[in-house]
Amino acid sequence: MHIDREDMLELTRRMTVSRNCFSRIAGAYMDEEGFIDGTFNTHFLKLSGSEKEKNLNIAKTVPYSNTNVNLRNYRLDQGARKPGSIMQLLEALRQCELKNDALLYSLYDYIGERYQPGYPYAVYLFFGSYDVPTKGKDKENQWESEEVYQFLIGTISPVTGDYEAGKPEAGFLYPAFANHSTDIDGINIYQADLQKYWAYRLDRKAFLPYNTLWNKMNNRS
């Protein structure tokens, strides 16, 4: 499914210090073998101004990336949400607004078991809410809210310095945001380097870091 660039820009306009849509940020620092080295979980508004700006730049990397090239949409069927699946876990994290540490550790362990790049990295998660304004016939925003889009952004970044996350190498936006509305049956996957990709493999219902999967997905009918 094609991602409309305007939908992504609509979201990023709510990812500034003055117009922030995020209420919570959580994350884990992983060693080169995928083991958890430290975690955090805090209300976004408790961050200092500089920390807010730094983390907003990390989060914005996903929706602001090159749509339909570095950021792609994948469809979710009912089997993707079966008990114990990664999608069931992401939905549970969205529903609890990242306030359940046990669920967060399950996600960190899931990623750590599948991703060992040979260097330390950080997993950041952001929970956001966006009051989607009603649009009139002239496509201008009205004062009323049409719906509340509640979403997660996740990023994976190399760690530089003392627990400093660098520019994200991979990430996701869940659920997708399409046609000015929540797309619960879609997830957008971001990959900075298309040659070494982290993507959602539909036949296994899992995120897997294998270079060969990229070609398989591109050749899929």
Per-residue model confidence as pLDDT tens digits over 94-117: 999 999 999 999 999 999 988 888
Domain boundaries, the chain: 5-218
Tell me which amino acid residue 150 is. Q
pLDDT (tens digit per residue) in 66-75: 999 999 998 8
Note the pLDDT of residue 115. 84
Q: Is 168 in contact with 189 (CB distance < 8 Å)?
A: no
| pLDDT > 70? residue 173 | yes
More confident residue, 133 or 126: 126
Per-residue confidence (pLDDT) for residue 161, from 0 to 100: 77
Confidence band of 163 (pLDDT split at 50, 70, 90): confident
The Cα–Cα gap between 54 and 166 comes to: 10
pLDDT tens digits along 175-211: 999 999 999 999 999 988 876 654 434 434 444 443 3
